[in-house]
A and B are shown apart, each in its own frame.
Chain A
Amino acid sequence: MLSVENLSYTYPGGTEAVRGIDFAIEKGEIFGFLGPSGAGKSTTQKVLIRLLRGFQGNITVLGKPLNQWDDSYYEQVGVAFELPNHYQKLTASENLSLFRSLYNGDTLEPAQLLEMVGLSEDADTRLSQFSKGMQMRLNFVRSLIHKPELLFLDEPTTGLDPVNGQKIKDILRQQKQEGRTIFLTTHDMTVADQICDRVAFIVDGQITLIDSPRNLRLQHGRRRVTVEYHHDGTSAPTQQAEFPLDGLGDSDEFLKILRTNRIETIHTQEATLEDIFIQTTGRSLT
C-alpha cells in the first residue's frame, strides 16, 4: 500500500527534518508514527500527502511512485490535519457538502458522517459556534467523505473528551475492518497502543524502532509480577512483593502470599509504549 525507502527532507532554510527513513505499510493496517514535537513525523506526513515536494528517496503509494501522482491522488487518500480547518461561516452540513462536491468518485452523505461522530443535531450550526472538540470531530469525519483507501490522520483524538475519543477509535477500527489503511501521526502513546497494528518511533528525523505494540511490550517489559497485599488480612499498611513471571506457579513464597494475605492488586510489569519510547530513544514525548 505504501512504501518509503531512504526518505530525506531538508527545508529551504537548511534544516534536515527527515534523514533516510524506511518503512512500509500493508493494506488494512493501522500504522502509528510516534515521536516528540520536532522529531520529523509531521514532515514525513506532509511529504506523504504531497504538501511538501522536493524530497529525496523513493516513495510508492497505491502502487505508483508518489512524484508521479497528480491531484487525483486525493481521490484515493483522505487527510485530517491536527488543527481544524473549516469554513466558519458555513454550517457543518454545508462544509461537508462543499468538500463532497470536490470529489469525482462515490461519496458518503454528510448526514451519515455527522451521525458517525455524534454531530447530527449540530448539522445546521455554523462552525463558528462549534467547540474545538466538535471541530476536530468534523475534521476527522471529513477525511472519510470520499471513502479513501488510505487515510493520513494527524492527532485525531486531540482535544476530545474520553467518550468522543473512544468513538473516533471505534470508527478507525471499523475503517480497518473495511480494508482501509491508516497512517496515524500522534504523540499519544495510549491511542497508538490501543488501535495501531504497528508503530514506528521517530526521533531527530530517524526511525529508531518499528514493531507491533504487543511485541514491543513483550520485548521491553520486565517479566515480573508485583503483588500488593495486606499482611494476614489486617488493616496494616499495604505491602508489596515482586516475583519472576517465569516459574511463578512453582514459587512457594508467591503462593503463600496468595493463600495467607488479603490481595489488593497483582500486575505483570509490562512496559507502556511511553516507557519503551523513553527506554529506546532516551527522549520523552513532550
Chain B
Amino acid sequence: MDIQRIAILMGKDARLGATNFMVLYVLVMPVVLSLLIALVFGDLLAQTPRLGIYDASASEQFTRPLLDHPSINTTMYDSEEALQSAVERGSEEIGLSLPAGFAASLEDDSAEIVFTAYRWGEAGVRNLLLLESAIARAMTAGIGSSIEQLPVTVNAEQIGSANTQTWSQRLLPLLLIMSIVLGGLFFPAASLLDEKRDRTLVALTSTPTSLLDVYLSKTLMGFILSGIMGSVILLINGAFVGQVALLLLVIALGGLMSSSFGIILGSVSKDMDTFMGIVKGAGILLYAPGILKIFPQVPEWIGRIFPTYYLMNPLLEVTQNGAGFADILIDIVVMVVLVAVLLVLLNSVIGRQQQKLALET
C-alpha cells in the first residue's frame, strides 16, 4: 500500500467521476429531493424557531432580548389561553407563561424562578435546542450568573403528540439512505467498472501500483463522498443537531459500509449494465428501512431486518430524539460488524480480481 499513489489515484478518480453521469445523478438527486421536500412542506422557508410568551409580570428585562433575538421569531400573547392555543396549533414551538412576580424573582438571586413552558409535540430538536439556549441566555442577561447557579423551576408541558412527525421528518430517513448509501456505493462501483471496460486496471497494475492501492483509492473516494453527502443532507434538512461528533461517527461507519459494498459490487459485476441490474433488483433492500419509516404504523422490527436500518436509526435517534452514544451503541456495534464482514469479503474479491485480470487481458 502506497499512500502517495492512492492520493494520485483519488485525484484521477475525482476528475473522471465528475464527468460520469450516473455518479452525478446519484449525488445530485438527494440534494434536489431535499430541497423539493423542504419547499413543498415548508421547512425550508420556516426554519426560524418560534417562541410565544405570555408575560403576566411585565418582565421586560427577560422578554426584550428574546424579542430582539435575530434568529428567533418571538410573539407576545395577552393571555395564557391564547398562548396554549398557539402552541397547540404549532404556531409556536415553545410557549412561556411567566407568572406575576417573575421579573422580581430574576433580580433577587435567592428567590426561586418559576414559570411554565409549553412545548409543541412536533417541534424539531434543532429549534428546541436553539430556543432553550436563547431562553437560558435571556434569563441570565444582566445578572452575571450562569443558568446552573439560578434556582429555576420549570413546569414543562407538552402539547400535541410527540410521535407525530412532519413529512420532512418522515422522508429524512429515505434521503439519508439515498445520500450516504448510494453516494458511497455508486462512485467506487462505477469507477471500477470504467477501469475494467477500458482495461486501465491492468495498465495500472503494470506499474508499481498494486490492485490494493486501486481498490483503496476508490473505496476512500466513496467514503468521502458518502460523508459529504450525508452531512449535506442533514444540514439541508436542519437535522445536523445533537451530538455532532456522534453523527459524524455514524456517517463515517455508514460511508465505509456503503463504499466497501460498492467496490465489491463493482468488482463482481461484469459491466455497468450488470451492476445497474443488481442495484435495480436489490436496491429495495437498501431503501426499505427508509420507506418503512414513512409509515409510522409499520412495526419497527421489520426495518431491523435490513442492514441500512443500523445506519439510519442512530442518525434519527441523535437528530430527532437527542440520543447519546450509549443509546445507539447496539446500532454502532452492528455497523462495525457489517463493515468488518465487508472488508473480509473485499480482501477475497481483490484476490479474485487479480486472477481475472490475467485471464481477461
A residues in contact (CB < 8 Å) with B: 11-12, 46, 49, 51-53, 71-75, 79, 81, 83-90, 98-99, 101-104, 142
Contact = CB atoms under 8 A, between A and B. Distances in A.
B200 A86 contact: yes
B8 A102 contact: yes
Contact of A81 (B19, B203, B210, B355): B203
Nearest to B210: A71
B204 interface: yes
A100 to B, nearest CB: 10
Contacts of A49: 206
A79 B12 contact: no
Contact of A85 (B5, B16, B202, B359): B202
Contacts of B358: 46, 51-52
SS of A interface (majority): loop
A101 B8 contact: yes
B8 A81 contact: no
Contacts of B355: 12
B208 A51 contact: no
B199 A83 contact: yes
A71 B206 contact: no
B200 A51 contact: no
29 contacts: A12-B355, A46-B361, A49-B206, A51-B202, A51-B206, A51-B357, A51-B361, A52-B358, A71-B209, A72-B208, A73-B208, A74-B206, A75-B208, A81-B203, A83-B199, A85-B198, A85-B200, A86-B203, A87-B12, A87-B16, A87-B200, A98-B8, A98-B12, A101-B8, A102-B8, A102-B208, A103-B207, A103-B208, A104-B208
Contacts of A99: 203, 207
Query: Top 8 closest A-B pairs, CB basis?
Result: A85-B199, A79-B206, A85-B203, A51-B358, A102-B207, A52-B358, A71-B208, A74-B208
A270 B19 CA distance: 57
Interface centre among A52, A71, A79, A88 (most CB of B within 10 A): A71
A72 B207 CA distance: 8
Nearest to B355: A12
B128 to A, nearest CB: 49
SS of B interface (majority): helix
Interface residues of B, number: 23
Contacts of B198: 85-88
Contacts of A79: 206
Nearest to A76: B208
Nearest to B203: A85
A83 B361 CA distance: 8
Contacts of B5: 102
Contacts of A89: 16, 19
Interface centre among A11, A73, A89 (most CB of B within 10 A): A89
B359 A11 contact: yes
A90 B195 CA distance: 13
Nearest to B1: A71
Interface centre among A53, A99, A103 (most CB of B within 10 A): A99
Interface centre among B5, B200, B357 (most CB of A within 10 A): B200
A81 B199 contact: yes
A101 B204 CA distance: 11
Nearest to B211: A71
Interface centre among A49, A73, A85, A88 (most CB of B within 10 A): A85
A162 B207 CA distance: 30
A253 B342 CA distance: 85
Nearest to A104: B208
Nearest to A85: B199
Contact of A102 (B204, B354, B357, B359): B204
A272 B354 CA distance: 39
A76 B284 CA distance: 49
Contacts of B208: 71-75, 102-104
Given A51-B361, A81-B203, A101-B8, 12 more contacts: A46-B358, A51-B358, A52-B358, A81-B206, A86-B198, A87-B12, A89-B16, A98-B8, A102-B5, A103-B207, A104-B208, A142-B203
Interface in B185-215: 198-200, 202-210
Interface in B303-334: none
A75 B5 CA distance: 14
A224 B141 CA distance: 116
Nearest to B199: A85
Nearest to B359: A11
Contacts of A83: 199
A81 B199 CA distance: 10
Contacts of B354: 53
Interface string B328-361: 0000000000000000000000000011011101
Contacts of B209: 71, 102
A59 to B, nearest CB: 15
Interface in B66-100: none
Contacts of A104: 208
Contacts of A101: 8
Given A74-B208, A102-B209, A81 B16 contact: no
Interface in B12-53: 12, 16, 19
B202 A81 contact: yes
A243 B200 CA distance: 56
Interface centre among A75, A86, A90, A98 (most CB of B within 10 A): A98
A149 to B, nearest CB: 14
A104 B198 CA distance: 25
A110 B93 CA distance: 64
Contacts of B210: 71
A52 B205 CA distance: 12
Contacts of B361: 46, 51, 81
Nearest to B206: A79
